[in-house]
Amino acid sequence: MKRSKFNGYAMNRRSVLQGLGAGFTAALASGSLKTAHAATGGSYAIDLWEKTKAELSGGSFRMDLNLHSWEGYTEEPVLAPFQADTGATVNPQMLISDPAAVNNLRSGGTATWDVINLNNAWQRKLLYPEGLILPLDTAKFQPLYDMNVAGFEFPYNWAMDESGEKILGMIQRYGPSGMAVNTDAMSAETLTKGGYMEMIEGAAGEYAILDYENWVIMHACMAAGFSPFRPHTDDEMAKYEEVIFKIFNNAKKVSDDQASLARDMITGEVMGTFPGSVYSVSAPRFEGETQIACVVPEEGIEETKTADNPMGQSGIIWIEVTSLVANPDPTPLAEAFLVYCHTPEASYRVAARAPGTLNPVVQMGDPGILEKFGSDELDAMQWDELDTLVGRCIDFDINPDYDAMHDLYTEAKRSRG
């Protein structure tokens, strides 16, 4: 099995990750990653939060904060301390589709939401150019980058505008996405070497679809042999249509409930899910069901293969960016929430204490944050193999043919009856 060149030393709860972070494909290829130094990062975050709370005290402003986010930020362990410290009422709504959330903002959602949490690329390429989000205070937020694991140093590409001068949001959670599998039903090695078709065709009638729309579409492209993140030829669209119909026709069940599908993998109802990530398998792993794992195929699509990386990339790494919505009735609670999420305790809670989710956060580059995690939590995140999985991934980006592919996705889904 080909391993990342950073996999030659053991990672543990006292180690700071090396070889992970933004722009992984380029960084891994160039060998340009360096260790992040975070001597004052956590202390700065704590001091900034205390200062922020003092500034909020006694202020006259809207006390409700409306949060549109992926699962994790929407749960009580993360929100309750913020509400207690500020007196705010947080109204969270979970999203399961980046494009749907973007369209919500475009159609007037800026008057509803204060904070939006999306995968990288949308902020830089669409939301900021269209005036839907606001830049952060660089002087305030740049020092927080000192907390981050290597590869996420300032300026981090996906959190900056095209000029490289403005910070467009907080970076925190990240992780690789490929497939999820019960390794008692099919070995990780079999799926790693066989790739997506090992599940789609080799396990027809035995797997489930984790129905996060955009992610099904993106991984269908990878299974079809090309990147979703560029314009596609007619032949590629035809290949995508063939694969997306095969994915739905061969699946035993379809659900957007990752917890339910995790239980199905444990009981043997299904052998795995398409797609699947460290994020989607972390909860059962934390409960001791470590036979449930995220797998990213070893061999990637042809266009990602190079002389330095002849196996290419097959998975997709997502990096979340949490931004301030350009709400016409703003509240300082929005910026305060981003500051709060950087504090060591909140960073740990975001990573490991939101029910149903455990996920790496970039702030684990700060030793004071990393040491909060127990070995069971790191095992749940597949920490020891994270660099290998990430090294097989391309960065999440925007699919220019998403609408046409979504139409085919919908047809394929309906074809199941």
Selected residue with higher pLDDT from 13 and 247 = 247
Calculate Rg over the CA atoms of the chain: 21
pLDDT of amino acid 2: 27
What is the rounded average pLDDT of the residues 390-416?
96
Counting residues of the chain whose pLDDT is more than 70, the rounded percentage is 90
Cis peptide before 155 (omega within 30 of 0): yes
CA angle 246, 247, 252 (to 5 degrees): 110
pLDDT of amino acid 11: 32
Question: How far apart are the C-alpha atoms of 364 and 141, rounded to whole Å?
Answer: 17
Amino acid at 311: M
CB 146 within 8 A of CB 38: yes
Is pLDDT of 247 > 70?
yes
Is pLDDT of 13 > 50?
no
Kindly indicate the confidence band of residue 20, based on its pLDDT and cuts at 50, 70 and 90. very low
Kindly indicate the confidence band of residue 387, based on its pLDDT and cuts at 50, 70 and 90. confident
Question: How far apart are the C-alpha atoms of 177 and 279, rounded to whole Å?
Answer: 8
Kindly indicate the confidence band of residue 356, based on its pLDDT and cuts at 50, 70 and 90. confident
What is the rounded average pLDDT of the residues 125-151?
95
Counting residues of the chain whose pLDDT is more than 90, the rounded percentage is 84
What is the rounded average pLDDT of the residues 346-357?
90
pLDDT of amino acid 30: 37
Closest CA to 198 of 42, 44, 314: 314
pLDDT of amino acid 371: 95
What is the rounded average pLDDT of the residues 289-305?
98
What is the rounded average pLDDT of the residues 387-398?
94
Cis peptide before 77 (omega within 30 of 0): no
Structural domains for the chain: 24-174+318-387 (3.40.190.10), 176-314+398-414 (3.40.190.10)
pLDDT of amino acid 112: 97
Is pLDDT of 381 > 60?
yes
pLDDT of amino acid 228: 98
Structure tokens at 58: 């006694």
Kindly indicate the confidence band of residue 5, based on its pLDDT and cuts at 50, 70 and 90. very low
Question: How far apart are the C-alpha atoms of 321 and 272, rounded to whole Å?
Answer: 28
CB 90 within 8 A of CB 78: no
Question: How far apart are the C-alpha atoms of 5 and 396, rounded to whole Å?
Answer: 22
Is pLDDT of 96 > 90?
no
pTM score, whole prediction: 0.84
What is the rounded average pLDDT of the residues 33-42?
51
> What integer best gives the mean pLDDT of the chain?
90
pLDDT of amino acid 241: 98
Give the 3-state secondary structure of residue 8. Answer: coil
pLDDT of amino acid 23: 43
Kindly indicate the confidence band of residue 354, based on its pLDDT and cuts at 50, 70 and 90. confident
Q: Could you read off the pLDDT of 53-75 as tens digits, one per residue? A: 999 998 899 999 999 999 889 99
What is the rounded average pLDDT of the residues 99-106?
94
Kindly indicate the confidence band of residue 15, based on its pLDDT and cuts at 50, 70 and 90. very low
